[in-house]
Amino acid sequence: MRPFKFSNAGDPATAITLVSANPGAKFLGGGTNLVDLMKEDVMHPSELVDITRLKHADIEKTATGVSIGGTATNSFTANHELIRKNYPLLSMAILAGASAQIRNMATNGGNLNQRTRCTYFYDVNLPCNKREPGSGCGALKGVNRNHAIFGWSEKCVAVYPSDMAVALAALNAVVHVEGRNNAKRTIQFADYHRLPGDTPEKDNNLKQGELITSIDLPTNDFAERSYYLKIRERSSYAFALVSVAAALSLDGNQIKQVRIALGGVAHKPWRASVAEKWLMGKEATESNFRAAAEAELKNARPLEHNKFKVVMAKKAITRALQGAMQGGVYGLEG
Amino acid sequence: MSETGKPISRIDGHLKVTGKAMYSAEFNQPNMAYAFPVRATIAKGRITSLDDTAIKKEPGVISVVSYKNALKLKPLDMPAQAKAGAAFLGENLPPLQDNTVHYPGQFIAVVVAESYEQARAAAYKLKVHYAAEKAATDLKTELPNSKKPTKLMGEEAQVNGGKTATPLATSAHRVDNTYSTPVEHHHPMEPHATVAVWEGTDKLTLYDATQGVGLTGAIAAYFLGLPQENVRVIAPFVGGGFGSKGLWLHTLLVAMAAKAAGRPVKLALTRQMMQTNVGHRAATIQRVALGTDTAGTLKAIRHHTDTYNNLTEFFEPSGKQSLVLYKAPVREVTYNVAKLNRGTPTFMRAPGETPGTFALECAMDEMAYQLKMDPVAFRIANHTTQDPMKGHDFSSEFLVDCYRIGAEKFGWSARSMEPRQKRNGNYLVGYGMATATYPGGRSAASVKVSMTAKGDVTVMTASIDIGTGTYTVLAQTAADALGVPVNRIQVKIGDSSLPAAPLAGGSQTTASIHPAAMEACALLRKELATLAIADSSSKLHGRKPDEIGYADGKLVLIGDDKKTDSYADIMSRARRVEVEACATTLPVSGAGLTVPSALCTPREIPAEQNSDSKHYAFHSFGAQFAEVWVDEDLGTIRVERFTSVQDVGRIMNEKTARSQIIGGVIFGIGAALMEATEYDKRWGSPVVRTLADYHVPVNLDVPPIDVHFIGKADPHISPIGARGIGEIGITGVAAAIANAVFNATGKRVRDLPLTPDKLV
Amino acid sequence: MEDQLKFPDLTDAERKALEELMPDDMSEIITSGLKRRHFLKLITFTGTSLLATHFLGIEQLMARTTAGAPLPPTGVENGVNVAFKVNGSTQKLLVDSRMTLLDALRERLTLTGSKKGCDHGQCGACTVLVDGRRVLSCLTLAATCEDKVVTTIEGLADGHTLHPMQAAFIKHDGFQCGYCTPGQICSAVALMSEAKNGEASYVTRNVRQTGKSVKLSDEEIRERMSGNICRCGAYPNIVDAIREVHGDKAVAQVWQFADGTI
Ligand SMILES: Cc1cc2nc3c(=O)[nH]c(=O)nc-3n(C[C@H](O)[C@H](O)[C@H](O)COP(=O)(O)OP(=O)(O)OC[C@H]3O[C@@H](n4cnc5c(N)ncnc54)[C@H](O)[C@@H]3O)c2cc1C
Ligand code: SF4
Ligand code: FES
Ligand code: FES
């Protein structure tokens, strides 16, 4: 870890000003990703501004839904009555990630901005365009079983690791950010993270110095029928091979609305819009779920070692939708 | 024996649950500096330049040690090392002696600074240039260049090459398949760490995370050119080892750094370094063929292994169990060993048997299916009561009981032979079993016992407790051998200045040190008896030594328990504040893993009870049973319950013994389901780098584990009758799980680990 | 046995010491609401090691109970002054901005009970309680700890009286090498209050059902303890220990010989 200047921001404006003024500066949330990457020498900010004491840690009802604070912790969010009752999908997704200790530290803003777990990215002696633009992508022709099957480019085949964000994608969340001089803007969740394209070094569309102040969750009628399914190599405390956030609302047995987002398959939470479209207005049956999943995965482009993800994702979509139908009760992943 | 065997809680438990037990990295010294190594970034070649001028100016940097300025160590010299007890190394590569690179991640320099943060930051900045050569990075690619080693740990490596061809060809039933196991890493929770403190120029103390204080001391003394008694190694607590601790030369690196800095220096390896620099279990590709007659009697067993090594002669001996199990008339065990530019493979919990039982015991299951025989019945039908190679009887063997008891406790009869018969919601349910086996070894050991006039007893030996319960069971043994309560006994271990004991490896500690402890206690009682007999005011005055027994802190006249004399009284009348005795026991089969050093009074034990490998074969056995639930859609496997029945001789403490077995089973669950390190062929470096990628089981992966012991003392291994217990628990586990997965799904997965991608 | 308190393995002196040490009202030190009588029973099981420091001959071990006087800082860059409470006492330190809470505890405050297993948030050995919640001290920068209240494994026992979770770990052999143990115990202690708060986990059957406190099934305990890796494989025993403290009643020990004798 290289030397850096540390400060403790008293208020959001100060924090934003400090980080905007120094291209080498970073906000420090729980530190569970940033400190890890700094110890690995993957990231070397010259300045850290601790934002965990700022007043953006609340969870409250708004006119259009619920707003969750950017510096609220993952565990506070997952356990909040408003979230558990109205957005159980989000609670399940957060609780599927990391460990109790990490969720106690991790902030919602930090979670959205966590970086890929691609091991070539982590090993500073190996090439990686995300870490060092132009050095090449180690994973493209390397060991890529954990990598993307959708939306990758020759420049980068990494996947984005967050579970929470997969649920947020399915819930059409809106990210509120604040920049220098009180410049506030909102970003639709689908536009928040990026595909790698030619600039894999950019994970998302946040600008230097912009602070995530809150995330809005629009009102929905999915609370009764949603499910977060996560497949991993051990039963807990591991990142997803494939995960699915699924939410349904029905008219009789007819699908009124459906949301499906996948984790572990792309450089951002992957909205399965083909499958969603396929299902709209159809009967909520297993065979329809399966057909929709087939349709979605037709467009998958697996790499040398991750063809299994295509099969796995199909089955996981079907299973998650079934889980949602059963009222989002845990016990489906084995 | 009232204490031995009792499930008493660990006597060191209090220290461990309060955070007071101290591990190597915690022995901070006044004026101590911190070291951080620099590692090679190529797989093979030479360092062409290493420019440390810039980092020497970094804040806090005290010194930079590399091949350019490192202390010259004694060169490798096997006969001389053997004489010094320093032959047994993790890798034959004394650090920083030249500019060659043998594998990616090799330590090529070490930076010493005022703080850990500064040492790490500076180490990352060292500029090194290399001339890289073409490296061997992949087992399959290198197999055509592999060698057939002739020796394996002193025994013939290639056994009966070609001799099974005919019997297999003429067998009525045959299975012949290839199984593979990946690279696995030990990853004890405590990282390897050393604090080196020089006193003058020729006395060194190392607080080192090691499985053998004696061994580490001997290695350090040899390479640093110091008299053995000038190097003291201290390790009161060691946070697990599993074979990875004690043989690695980063310890020398710290001593060299401390010398260069002129200050005590601490180095704790990072998890990332533990993926490369302290050994691993090499990957294996194993081809196993079995032939039987129509009745299911084995006619031949063939077990061939392809594997690799690097900087030692050691290779994964995965054919071992195929020379011990079952009554086949011919067996052939062979190896091809390639050489890779990869951190050097080493011993890891049940080396050989862990991957080997996976292959053999899956093959046994496949044959049972072909024969339409119950897998338990098939094994019982082919059971052997003798070592099939040597023709010796096993010293003590209850394997058939293990099968029967295991089958009953597990409820094996509820299994259907046909796969895919049992469902539970989304899961397919399957049962599988396998045989467990591991050799029972014993080495020389010395133990000293002292008693104060107040009745406090201290037991001393240079053994180690890596979590196995050494502290506790030694206290139990001494309590019985002296007739005093456990809570009057102190145990001092983990210090090379104590009487020599073997390293904590090969499941030998208990079998080795307890006979010596008993003998030392007997000597101590004899000394007390001599005092009493000579003392006219003793009720035992003038008696013969063999008329005197002991109980409850007293010597007692045999046959007249009114005639007693308490230890305290004997000592106070004789004006002795302390009596002391030390004994060395040496098994007939030799010193084994013990470092040669000054012995105490050698004690003769009748050959019949003394691990005589010319007359008996010493092996532990067991039976492993697993129930798995497989979600075929998602590819996930859940081990739902596990039963393990073990025949390991006498149980010294049922509580700690059970812990050892469940720990072994959990290690096996890891190997079965998730553990694997993959490497990038282009650079040779691991792409599984940390505990985030190298998955070991977490609590949710682990089901209730039902452990049963046969508990019958082995009359021939030692007067104590205990064989080791640390390793057998892992053997057979992966096979039992894979066999259960077959029973559940009808899918035979022959490549470990059974990750979800292999089952969807 | 139920009602009669016995200390079978203790000497008279030890029994007396224990009785003197036992506070009448345990609630201050026991976050789990464990009843006194049960706790005493638990202690009897662990009797042989209750005052066990006496058994070990390594003198160095007797040091550290509370934080030592902070060692003088060496090689501090970008120094940050922090003041925080550790196990009840206020500590003022000048730390390098890069120093983690874990290294501050281990290298500066001589509180080496918290362990470094991976230094990257991947094992849980460094788990401590900060403001009552379990966190990983290896990913917490010391500089962020101003005004925080930190409890480490050294701060759980009350003098010589073990926290019930510590006693239960001894009774159920919830460790082997002991290196993951401080983290496991801190984690388990925090888990008791999370359960009391009704917090959910990934294996909670229905997260929409909220309530005051939850009774943890074995599966719940296993999931919630999955952030603490034990390579020795003490998991089933750890679950037994936690179940005992959480359930307020004795959990049988499960070792046995094949023929049913013990
Ligand atoms: C071993 C391990 C296992 C894990 N497993 C999982 C898992 O299974 N699933 C999962 O989803 N996650 C997992 N995680 C990741 C974890 O969830 C993230 O590290 C965490 O959410 C990041 O939050 P933080 O507050 O600690 O972020 P930090 O590390 O503090 O920050 C991360 C980034 O976000 C920026 N940032 C922080 N807050 C803001 C803000 N308000 N506005 C703008 N930028 C901000 C920082 O500058 C930094 O660049 C795991 C982590 C570890 C270490
Ligand atoms: S996949 Fe992306 S992150 Fe991984 S090596 Fe390639 S460029 Fe780097
Ligand atoms: S040391 Fe902190 S999680 Fe491993
Ligand atoms: S007791 Fe050794 S790691 Fe848990």
Percentage with pLDDT > 70 across chain B? 99
Q: Is the pLDDT confidence value at B696 over 60?
A: yes
Q: Is the pLDDT confidence value at C35 over 80?
A: no
What is the rounded average pLDDT of the residues B277-301?
Answer: 98
| Shared-domain flag, residues B63 and B212 | yes
Interface test with C, best of A38, A91, A99, A243 (most C CBs within 10 A): A99
| Shared-domain flag, residues C151 and C170 | no
For residue A329, what is the domain's CATH number? 3.30.390.50
B519 occurs within a structural domain:
yes
B215 occurs within a structural domain:
yes
Residue ending a domain, choose from B229, B253, B275: B275
- The residue to mutate among B189, B274, B699, having the most atoms of ligand 4 within 8 angstroms of its beta carbon, is B189
What is the rounded average pLDDT of the residues B682-711?
Answer: 98
Q: What is the CA radius of gyration of chain C?
A: 19
C262 occurs within a structural domain:
no
Residue C30's pLDDT is: 31
B6 occurs within a structural domain:
no
For residue C227, what is the domain's CATH number? 1.10.150.120
> What is the widest separation between alpha-carbon atoms in chain C?
66
C-alpha B470 to ligand 3 mean position (Å): 27
Of C59, C87, C56, C58, residue with least CA distance to C154: C87
| Shared-domain flag, residues B484 and B414 | no
- Pocket flag, ligand 4, residue B469 (CB < 6 Å): no
Percentage with pLDDT > 70 across chain C? 69
Better-scored residue on pLDDT, C238 or B509: C238
Q: Tell how strand B231-234 and strand B203-208 pair up.
A: parallel
| Shared-domain flag, residues B230 and B360 | no
Interface test with B, best of A114, A117, A119, A146 (most B CBs within 10 A): A119
Residue B221, burial from CB neighbour count under 10 angstroms (0-12, 13-18, 19+): buried
**Chain B residue closest to A244 (CA)?**
B634
Side-chain-side CA neighbours of B385 within 13 Å: the count stands at 4
| Shared-domain flag, residues C191 and C231 | yes
Structurally, chain A folds into a number of domains equal to 1
Whole domain around residue C135: which residue ranges?
A: 80-155
Q: Is the pLDDT confidence value at C66 over 60?
A: no
| Shared-domain flag, residues B324 and B292 | yes
What is the rounded average pLDDT of the residues B373-394?
Answer: 97
| Shared-domain flag, residues B100 and B217 | yes
Residue ending a domain, choose from C121, C155, C189: C155
Residue C33's pLDDT is: 34
Residue C52's pLDDT is: 36
C-alpha C225 to ligand 3 mean position (Å): 14
Q: How far apart are CA A308 and CA A271, in angstroms?
A: 20
**Mean of all residue pLDDT scores within chain A:** 97
Is residue B430 within 8 A of residue B639, CB to CB? The reply is no
Whole domain around residue B512: which residue ranges?
A: 445-607
For residue B710, what is the domain's CATH number? 3.30.365.10
* Interface predicted TM-score (ipTM) over 0.95: yes
Residue B177's pLDDT is: 98
A156 occurs within a structural domain:
no
Residue C22's pLDDT is: 38
A193 occurs within a structural domain:
no
B8 occurs within a structural domain:
no
Whole domain around residue A244: which residue ranges?
A: 226-333
Structurally, chain B folds into a number of domains equal to 3
Residue C38, burial from CB neighbour count under 10 angstroms (0-12, 13-18, 19+): middle
| Shared-domain flag, residues C240 and C187 | yes
Give the pLDDT confidence of A263-297 residue by residue, as tens digits: 999 999 999 999 999 999 999 999 999 999 999 99
Q: Where are the alpha helices (DSSP H) in A71-118?
A: 74-79, 81-86, 88-95, 100-105, 108-112
B523 occurs within a structural domain:
yes
At a CB cut-off of 8 Å and minimum separation 6, what does A71 contact? Answer: A29, A51, A52, A54, A56, A57, A107, A108, A109
A60 occurs within a structural domain:
no
Residues with CB under 6 A from ligand 3: C 116-119, 121-126, 136, 138
- Residue C23: pLDDT band (50, 70, 90) is very low
Q: How far apart are CA C28 and CA C22, in angstroms?
A: 12
A111 occurs within a structural domain:
no
Least confident of A208-212, A241-245, B186-190, B440-444: B440-444
Give the pLDDT confidence of A36-45 residue by residue, as tens digits: 999 999 999 9
Q: How far apart are CA C237 and CA A292, in angstroms?
A: 45
- Residue C24: pLDDT band (50, 70, 90) is very low
Which residue in the set A2, A318, A332 is minimally distant from B121, CB to CB? A2
**Residue B424: how many CB atoms within 10 A of its CB?**
9
- Residue C48: pLDDT band (50, 70, 90) is very low
Does the pTM exceed 0.90?
yes
Which-ligand-closest: CA of C128? 3
B545 occurs within a structural domain:
yes
- Residues of B identified as active-site: 727
Residue C252's pLDDT is: 65
Structurally, chain C folds into a number of domains equal to 3
| Shared-domain flag, residues B231 and B331 | no
- Pocket flag, ligand 4, residue C234 (CB < 6 Å): yes
A219 occurs within a structural domain:
no
Q: Is the pLDDT confidence value at A84 over 70?
A: yes
Residue B593's pLDDT is: 65
Residue B545's pLDDT is: 95
Q: Is the pLDDT confidence value at C37 over 50?
A: no
Residue C253's pLDDT is: 55
- Pocket flag, ligand 1, residue A239 (CB < 6 Å): yes
| Shared-domain flag, residues C151 and C169 | no
B487 occurs within a structural domain:
yes
A277 occurs within a structural domain:
yes
A167 occurs within a structural domain:
no
Give the pLDDT confidence of C174-212 residue by residue, as tens digits: 999 999 999 999 999 999 999 999 999 999 999 999 988
For residue C95, what is the domain's CATH number? 3.10.20.30
